[in-house]
């Protein structure tokens, strides 16, 4: 082979070697950076909770406290002793993984807050019902939107109750209305979330294993310290796998939410519509009002929100059924989804989102209460 024939091959080999060396340096830098920040995949950083035996006291526990909002630090021995004295189990197990917590207390009706007294004469009562968005997962009681709404409307002699129940979907939400009606409300606000509809058997089975943005991860939170990678375990590999898992979670969750309102869940969505009509009828026959406050999911609010058509489907049904609905998504215009999360691994609304929702609802609830016959 001539020298002229070898020269291009050698140049190519040199270029490839240089590119490989450059790529190796970049990978080493990234690996070093991940080691420097003690990177842990999100599967090891999920929220957890502990409660006392009677379930009247619960702690929402988180791995970090990036906004300095969580006011309980279980790394403090006095805090642990205090909650152990109240009958809260497994407090010590939270310390290595999820030491930062928010307290939730429940009354004898299973609602968050103090015991509910009989309605006072001359006062109109507003009951806000819904799931964990309403109860306020990861949010202090005073910061939940029913409480903020109550303070806003107090001058109008409107009393607002938080009747949220974590984990409730239809038909359980319809059954919850029976408990709410015993409190003699003049207005019922139902804080609807996109995962609330009754479900077909196929979707219900899938729901039990689906990992999504707002529901608690099942089977990922383990007791004991966080697993520590070995010296030769590549953090970069774990990072790539974690990003892929999160992408797949988003893909599967989006498909599942869309199926809730599509052909895969036609009967479940129809049953939900019938129950919503019945809820509206029951409030009407009492001379009261039902308002659906439609929460968005905090996913890409600042870009192309992926569930706009689902909100349109719900809104169209409510308008044709004569049910008052108030979409909350416009209340969050100008805010990024991330700025409204309780925590990076828990996309429930935080205290800012609760306040914005209450501010948006206040004039609507005031108008509904004043229009009662």
> Domains of the chain: which residue ranges?
10-39, 42-105, 124-199+259-370
pTM: 0.84
Q: With beta carbons less than 8 A apart as the criterion, state whether 125 and 119 touch.
A: yes
For 236-245, letters b (16+ CB in 10 Å) and e give bebbeebeee
3-state SS, residue 361: helix
Mean pLDDT calculated for residue range 242-258: 73
Q: Per-residue pLDDT tens for 175-211?
A: 999 999 999 999 999 999 999 999 887 776 655 555 5
Q: With beta carbons less than 8 A apart as the criterion, state whether 282 and 181 touch.
A: yes
Q: Is 70 exceeded by the pLDDT of residue 44?
A: no
3-state SS, residue 30: helix
3-state SS, residue 177: helix
Q: Is 70 exceeded by the pLDDT of residue 5?
A: no
The CATH fold of domain 124-199+259-370: Rossmann fold (3.40.50)
> What span, in angstroms and rounded, lies between the C-alpha atoms of 152 and 126?
12
Q: Is 90 exceeded by the pLDDT of residue 43?
A: no
pLDDT at 96: 87
φ, ψ dihedrals at 52, nearest 5°: -80, 175
Q: Per-residue pLDDT tens for 229-249?
A: 554 455 556 556 666 666 666
> What span, in angstroms and rounded, lies between the C-alpha atoms of 18 and 24?
10
Q: With beta carbons less than 8 A apart as the criterion, state whether 218 and 46 touch.
A: no
User: How much of the chain is helix, strand and coil, in % rounded to 5?
Assistant: 45, 15, 35
> What span, in angstroms and rounded, lies between the C-alpha atoms of 345 and 213?
8
Residue 290 or 223, more confident: 290
pLDDT at 306: 93
> What span, in angstroms and rounded, lies between the C-alpha atoms of 256 and 250?
10
Query: 30 pLDDT band (50/70/90 cuts)?
Result: low
> What span, in angstroms and rounded, lies between the C-alpha atoms of 354 and 1?
76
Q: Per-residue pLDDT tens for 68-120?
A: 999 999 999 999 999 999 999 889 989 988 999 999 999 999 999 999 999 98
> What span, in angstroms and rounded, lies between the C-alpha atoms of 59 and 79?
12
Among the listed residues 147, 256, 173, 267, the one whose alpha carbon sits nearest the alpha carbon of residue 211: 256
Neighbouring CB atoms inside 10 A of 254's CB total: 16
pLDDT at 18: 72
pLDDT at 254: 84
pLDDT at 371: 82
Question: Before 171, cis peptide (omega within 30)?
Answer: yes
């Amino acid at each position: 082979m001539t020298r002229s024939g070898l020269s291009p091959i050698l140049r190519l080999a040199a270029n490839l070697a240089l590119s490989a060396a450059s790529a190796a340096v970049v990978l080493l830098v990234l690996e070093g950076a991940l080691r420097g920040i003690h990177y842990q995949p999100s599967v090891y950083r999920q929220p957890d909770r502990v409660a006392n035996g009677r379930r009247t006291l619960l702690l929402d526990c988180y791995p970090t406290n990036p906004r300095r909002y969580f006011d309980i630090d279980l790394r403090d021995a006095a805090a642990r002793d205090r909650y152990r004295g109240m009958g809260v189990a497994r407090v010590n197990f939270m310390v290595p993984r999820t030491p930062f917590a928010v307290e939730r207390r429940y009354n004898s009706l299973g609602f968050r807050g103090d015991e509910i007294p009989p309605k006072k004469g001359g006062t109109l009562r507003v009951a806000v019902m819904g799931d964990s968005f309403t109860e306020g997962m990861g949010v202090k009681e005073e910061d939940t939107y029913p409480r903020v709404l109550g303070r806003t409307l107090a001058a109008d002699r409107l009393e607002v109750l938080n009747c949220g129940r974590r984990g409730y979907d239809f038909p359980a939400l319809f059954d919850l209305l029976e408990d709410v009606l015993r409190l003699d409300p003049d207005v019922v606000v139902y804080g609807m979330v996109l995962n609330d509809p009754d479900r077909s058997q196929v979707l219900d089975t899938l729901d039990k294993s689906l990992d999504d943005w707002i529901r608690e991860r099942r089977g990922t939170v383990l007791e004991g310290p966080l697993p520590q990678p070995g010296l030769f375990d590549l953090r970069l590999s774990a990072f790539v796998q974690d990003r892929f898992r999160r992408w797949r979670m988003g893909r599967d969750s989006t498909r599942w939410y869309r199926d809730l309102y599509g052909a895969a869940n036609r009967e479940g969505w129809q049953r939900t519509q019938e129950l919503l009509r019945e809820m509206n009828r029951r409030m009407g026959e009492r001379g009261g009002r039902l308002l659906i406050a439609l929460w968005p999911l905090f996913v890409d609010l600042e870009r192309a929100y992926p569930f706009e058509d689902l909100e349109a489907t719900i809104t169209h049904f409510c308008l044709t059924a004569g049910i008052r609905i108030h979409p909350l998504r416009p209340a969050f215009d100008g805010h990024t989804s991330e700025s409204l999360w309780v925590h990076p691994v828990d996309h429930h609304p935080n205290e800012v989102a609760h306040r914005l929702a209450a501010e948006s609802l206040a004039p609507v609830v005031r108008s509904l209460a004043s229009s009662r016959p």
